[in-house]
Amino acid sequence: MNTLLRVTISGPPGSGTSTLVSRLSKERDWSYINGGEIFRSAANKRNISIEEFSALCKNNLDVDRSLDVSLKEIMISSDSPEIVESRLCGWWAKELKLNCNRIWLSVSDNERAKRIQNREGGDFSDCLDKSRNRQKDDMDRYKLLYGINLDDLSPYDLIVEADDKDEDEVFKIVNKYLGF
């Protein structure tokens, strides 16, 4: 199977995956698809918040499953983008035996909440609670749907601890790892 997929980027919300993907795409002139954007778009189409959509996915697994199937099809297609970003794309790349790098960005709960607050505004405590609730909902759902434990990072080739790193430092680590 010949796909263009070169790298998957994964991490929890607020870990910097979207920023990294955008930078890699610009620097390397690579195309990408962002699973978070697909998720947010699906929530917006239903006129509900991310948290409400996450709860909907938890209660109606077919909604989540359909989004996942679409992303997997993109990953294995002969015209896939070079970069795919989603929470589970590293797991799927390993499962599908795709020859690509699988990268995970790791960030603490507090740092994720700070980043989400900077991006979306609001009270830090609310951002922390929403982030933790979404993480728990996602972990429960992925365990139920696929038997995946998001704390198991074994599918990933590179894990970047990003709490104390800015976007330039994370980019340099990943870019060097990718051989440029």
- Per-residue pLDDT reduced to its tens digit, 138-151: 898 899 999 999 99
For the CA atoms of the chain, what is the radius of gyration?
A: 16
Mean pLDDT of the chain: 91
- At 83 the pLDDT is 97
158, 163, 164, 169: CA torsion to nearest 10: 40
Each residue's pLDDT tens digit, 78-116: 889 999 999 999 999 999 999 999 999 999 999 989 988
In angstroms, rounded to a whole number, what is the distance separating the alpha carbons of residues 117 and 115?
5
Tens of pLDDT, residues 8-35: 999 998 899 999 999 999 999 999 999 8
Residue 129 phi/psi, 5-degree rounding, is -65, -45
- Residue 1 has a pLDDT of 45
> What global pTM score does this model have?
0.86
The domain ranges of the chain are 7-166
Strand order in the sheet with 7-10: 32-34, 83-85, 7-10, 101-106, 158-161
Report the range of poorest mean pLDDT among 53-57, 114-118, 156-160.
53-57
The CATH H-level (homologous superfamily) assignment of domain 7-166 is P-loop containing nucleotide triphosphate hydrolases (3.40.50.300)
Residue 43 has pLDDT above 50, yes or no: yes
